[in-house]
Structure 1
Amino acid sequence: MRLVFAGTPEVALPSLRAFISSSRHEVVAVVTRPDAPSGRGRRLERSPVAALADEHGIEVLTPAKAGEPEFLDRLKALEPDLCPVVAYGNLLPQRTLDVPKHGWVNLHFSVLPAWRGAAPVQAAVRNGDDVTGASTFRIVKELDAGPVFGVVTETVRPRDTSGDLLERLASSGASLLLSTVDGIEDGTVRAVEQPADGVTYAAKIAVEDARLDFSLSAVVLDRLARAVTPEPGAWATFRGERLKLGPVTPVDGDLPPGEIVVERKRVLVGTATSAVALGEVQAQGKKRMAATDWARGTRIEAGERIS
């Protein structure tokens, strides 16, 4: 089939590579977010999907909005049979959804109808889910509510960060998306409407949502820190400045919430329940380092707190 692939970040690359390598389908173009400022110099950079398309000589479309007349005209001229989507990050109006013969098929990183929305993997980690997965479904106007073609599941490991889990789902999800498109071409897969029960939503996590509040329990802090790693990243404040934090580990021992105790091989912080051991730490203007190295350089005094 003739495909126009829509996606933007690194997590979409395994799927795009699968379609580029497929002998059954032709990727005639990709749709991705426009080039964006990056780094200290704020230079415009291509999205990962655009960069991969450039390597393979594939046309790149970067509409600011997916309903722009110029974009629609080009999309129609390309005559796609189907448009696979992985983390595109832009709303698709109905006039755009109507262009390809077989519609737009999205790879979403949850077992629908659980965790519809922008941050399903983060929600699964933060909620303490034992199992999550990926689903392929036909895109409709309502958010992530279209009928489902297929599902793969993935165990959430005890120390998984969102980055760890998303990396595995991107790989298994790419195989699922390719097999779904193969099945649509063959007429061997059927989309099944999502059940009305069990719908949950996963809103995008803002930087403020990633702050660790040490008046909460160690379990809650552990899940949150892993959920926001690598993006947007956990943080707290120390001596009035923001301190970026990696995942924390619940340990035995009671300390007042936020109080720091420096040991030879670990740095502990009190919570509402047991203490947690800090992992990597990054103070303002400094590189990321082990918490013990940070503590030695900072010369933490007895009774100091992180908040």
Structure 2
Amino acid sequence: MRLIFAGTPDVALPALDALAATEHVIAAVITRPDAPAGRGRKLIPSPVKARALELRLEVWEPARLSDQDFLSRLRAAEPDLCPVVAYGNLIPQAALDVPRHGWVNLHFSLLPAWRGAAPVQHAVIAGDEITGASTFLIEAGLDTGPVYGSLTEPVRPTDTSGDLLGRLADAGAGLLVATVDGIARGELVPVPQPTDGVSLAPKLDVADARIDFTHSALAVDRRIRGCTPAPGAWTTFRGERLKLYPVTVAAGSDSPLAPGELRASKSAVEVGTATVPVTLGQVQPLGKKPMPAADWARGVRIEPGERLGNSASTRPAESAG
């Protein structure tokens, strides 16, 4: 079949590579326009654009898929099918109507669970034990189209969203190829999603990644892992932001700690939660590189009773001055 692939970030690369290795023809690749990045705000191509150029594929970077110039170009290309992986823009009906077999999305959840932009992050935060990937026919609703196929993937106890998404991207590439092949042979008919089990996974922003130590240790652990690597879990210490990397739930703690309260030893730093403490892994103070929490604690000289998570957090009054 004649394909036009749409995708933008790294997670779409396994699918692009897998489709490029088939007998199907990729007539063009649609991706988001170059975006400014870094201190110099230099325009950087998307990972999908960079890989497409390596594969010597034609790249389209429309600002909006509703633009008439883009729609005319799409019609002229006469695609049979448009596979999509993490493109990042809604596809208007005028574009959905062009390919003979429509647009097929690889989505990283077991639909109808976790419809939306951040299914993997939400699965980790919610404590799901099993998740997966689905291919479905895109329609006007948000991830509501009928499903062609799916696969399952266990969520490991130490998975970050980045770990899990990497595995799903690799496995999902094979699922997408199988879906495209099945559509080409006329063997696949999409099945409507059930009405039960619907959950939503909106994009997580920086505020969502702030860690609340008044929650349980399990909830703190899951939210940190779910927000790693993006948008990046964080808290505050002495009024400044401190980025947090995955923690472990402390076992056999000598004495309880109040939520956010710190206890440092030579080799570890514990933080209180609503249940048992968690042991910090790496942390990253503002303007510095990630470091082991014990090294950070020695540098800042934590005082008894100091806490994470309070924007007004300072040394205790009796220790001030």
Letter in 1 for 2:67: E
Match status 1:232 vs 2:231: yes
In 1, Cα distance between equivalents of 2:260 and 2:181: 54
Letter in 1 for 2:7: G
In 1, Cα distance between equivalents of 2:52 and 2:263: 50
Q: Which residue of 2 aligns with 1:191?
A: 190
Q: Which residue of 1 aligns with 2:143?
A: 144
Match status 1:154 vs 2:153: yes
Alpha-carbon shift at residue 197 of structure 1 (Å): 0.8
Q: Which residue of 2 aligns with 1:171?
A: 170
Q: Which residue of 2 aligns with 1:56?
A: 55
**Structure 1 SS opposite 2:59:** strand
Q: Which residue of 2 aligns with 1:204?
A: 203
Task: Answer with 1 or 2: which has the greater Rg.
Answer: 2
Letter in 2 for 1:124: A
Q: Which residue of 1 aligns with 2:107?
A: 108
In 1, Cα distance between equivalents of 2:297 and 2:289: 14
Letter in 1 for 2:190: A
Residue-by-residue CA offset, 1:170-219 (whole Å, 9 max, x unaligned)? 00000000000000000111110001111110110010000001111101
**Structure 1 SS opposite 2:289:** coil
In 2, Cα distance between equivalents of 1:218 and 1:41: 40
Alpha-carbon shift at residue 99 of structure 1 (Å): 0.6
Residue-by-residue CA offset, 1:11-37 (whole Å, 9 max, x unaligned)? 000000001111x20111111111100
For residue 279 of structure 1, the aligned residue among 278, 281, 303 is 281
**Structure 1 SS opposite 2:36:** strand
In 1, Cα distance between equivalents of 2:74 and 2:265: 61
Q: Which residue of 1 aligns with 2:46?
A: 47
Gap runs ≥5 in structure 1: none
In 1, Cα distance between equivalents of 2:28 and 2:291: 42
Q: Which residue of 1 aligns with 2:257?
A: 255
Q: Which residue of 2 aligns with 1:9?
A: 9
Q: Which residue of 1 aligns with 2:216?
A: 217
Letter in 2 for 1:213: D
In 2, Cα distance between equivalents of 1:56 and 1:196: 41
**Structure 1 SS opposite 2:87:** coil
Alpha-carbon shift at residue 265 of structure 1 (Å): 1.6
**Structure 2 SS opposite 1:116:** coil
For residue 271 of structure 2, the aligned residue among 269, 280, 290 is 269
In 2, Cα distance between equivalents of 1:61 and 1:148: 27
In 2, Cα distance between equivalents of 1:161 and 1:200: 20
The share of aligned pairs that are identical, in percent, is: 63
For residue 291 of structure 1, the aligned residue among 290, 293, 298 is 293
Task: Provide the aligned C-alpha RMSD in A.
Answer: 0.7
Alpha-carbon shift at residue 264 of structure 1 (Å): 2.0
In 2, Cα distance between equivalents of 1:143 and 1:258: 38
In 1, Cα distance between equivalents of 2:243 and 2:264: 18
Letter in 2 for 1:131: I
Alpha-carbon shift at residue 76 of structure 1 (Å): 1.0
